[in-house]
Amino acid sequence: MYGQPLTASAAEPGVAYQWLRAGAPVPGATAPTYTPGLDDLDRPLAVQVTDATGSTISAPTAPVARATMTATRQRVLGEPRWTHTLKARPGRFSAPDPDVSYRWPDGSTARTYAVRPGDVGHRLALEVTAEAPGYDPLTVTVRTAQVAHRIDVRRTVRYHVETRGRITTSLREFRRQAQETYDDPRGWRSSGIRFVPVARGGAFTLVLAEASYLPRFSSGCSAEWSCRVGRFVIINQERWKHASPAWNAAHLALRDYRHMVVNHETGHWLGLGHAQCPGPGRLAPVMQQQSKGLQGCRFNPFPTEREIAGRTPRGRAMAYALARDYSPDVE
């Protein structure tokens, strides 16, 4: 094996040694011991021993193999939590001065890794690979703890789902996708609010409504849009199925429209009013009426950093949490 000394029979006076690599003499290799080097890899070694009675050649060894590396103290540094950045600690390897490389779950190879929303709820595996001449490469897999949401749950809100009018889309999909929006690390969950569906009751009612039913909730609601009236967070079935003209003109995904409309109307229930575009080219606040005009902003289905901050326990807006305001909010 590479780096591991071989010894011929004990040195005796009057005996000469010559080490052979694949049958050929290795220049200068005339001591009783020989340490295989890089040139010997994959080749058999033998030793020729010469004394007064003559010369014998040992049986060849197996081809010289790469040495085995050992590893200690590889780690992922940092807190596995959405919005945090993790860093690989290379640890130690038994080979001298190895080349160390990293591979994160998304295939990226930098030493640092920015946690992604899709990582929440999963343990991440970092592969640390060391390579050195004469050694078999060694890959160590380091797993993080389960990736957490941006902040832990501070408040649990229960809601139930109802319908109004003739429903021509999958209610099951509506329930599932609305809950996905609530569970999404980029959504209001990021401010510590967890939404839990219940069979009846709860703090608010999420309604999937035929478009013509919207004005029945309030004269302030329009058959064109979704709306929020008191405890009712009402999603207009027409918008749910087909997004909005502006959204479609920008070739954006229907799934993102659904995220946007659930976040927006639920944001009203959380006590948030409409927001303005903070500047050209910026992400639109989810509480901006994006279907009605972007004011130079970019479409955005999820609350912005600022909107999230406004809902965290430090944000003054927690005062609105009871949502006793029954004025309609039309998106």
Q: Which of residues 103-162 bind Zn ion (CB under 5 A)?
A: none
- Residue 265 beta carbon to Zn ion: minimum distance, rounded to whole angstroms: 7
Q: Hey, is 113 helix, strand or coil?
A: strand
Give the closest residue to 41 by CA, choosing from 58, 18, 70, 21: 21
Residue among 238 and 331 whose Cβ is closer to Zn ion: 331
- DSSP for 93-122? ESSSS-EEEEE-TTS--SSEEE--GGGTTS
- Residue 84 beta carbon to Zn ion: minimum distance, rounded to whole angstroms: 32
Measured CA to CA, the distance from residue 89 to residue 73 in angstroms comes to: 8
Looking up tokens 């109004």 gives 164
Residue among 126 and 270 whose Cβ is closer to Zn ion: 270
Residues 6+ apart with CB under 8 A from 92: 71, 72, 73
Measured CA to CA, the distance from residue 2 to residue 38 in angstroms comes to: 7
Measured CA to CA, the distance from residue 22 to residue 120 in angstroms comes to: 56
Residue among 69 and 272 whose Cβ is closer to Zn ion: 272
- Residue 285 beta carbon to Zn ion: minimum distance, rounded to whole angstroms: 11
Q: Name the token pair of 170.
A: 């999958």
Q: Which of residues 161-190 bind Zn ion (CB under 5 A)?
A: none
Q: For Zn ion, which residue has the nearest CB?
A: 331
Give the DSSP letter of residue 110.
S
Q: Which of residues 271-330 bind Zn ion (CB under 5 A)?
A: 329
Residue among 119 and 331 whose Cβ is closer to Zn ion: 331
Half-sphere exposure of 150 (CA within 13 A, CB side): 20
Residue among 173 and 325 whose Cβ is closer to Zn ion: 325
Residue among 40 and 331 whose Cβ is closer to Zn ion: 331
Q: Hey, is 38 helix, strand or coil?
A: helix
Angle subtended at Cα 105 by Cα 103 and Cα 107, rounded to the nearest 5 degrees: 55
**Total residues in contact with Zn ion, by rule CB under 5 A:** 2
Measured CA to CA, the distance from residue 209 to residue 240 in angstroms comes to: 10
* H or E segment and range at residue 20: strand 16-21
- Residue 87 beta carbon to Zn ion: minimum distance, rounded to whole angstroms: 41
Q: In this structure, are residues 236 and 224 in contact, taking their beta carbons and an 8 Å threshold? A: yes
- Residue 261 beta carbon to Zn ion: minimum distance, rounded to whole angstroms: 9
- Residue 288 beta carbon to Zn ion: minimum distance, rounded to whole angstroms: 9
- Residue 242 beta carbon to Zn ion: minimum distance, rounded to whole angstroms: 18
Residue among 126 and 221 whose Cβ is closer to Zn ion: 221
Residue among 184 and 331 whose Cβ is closer to Zn ion: 331
Residue among 40 and 329 whose Cβ is closer to Zn ion: 329
Q: Figure out which of the listed residues 40, 238, 307, 331 binds Zn ion, where binding follows CB under 5 A.
A: 331
- Residue 312 beta carbon to Zn ion: minimum distance, rounded to whole angstroms: 21
Looking up tokens 């009018």 gives 165
Cα maximum dimension of the chain: 116
CA 327 to chain centroid: 40
- Residue 98 beta carbon to Zn ion: minimum distance, rounded to whole angstroms: 57
228: which strand partners? 233, 329
Which residues would be at the binding site for Zn ion (CB under 5 A)?
Answer: 329, 331
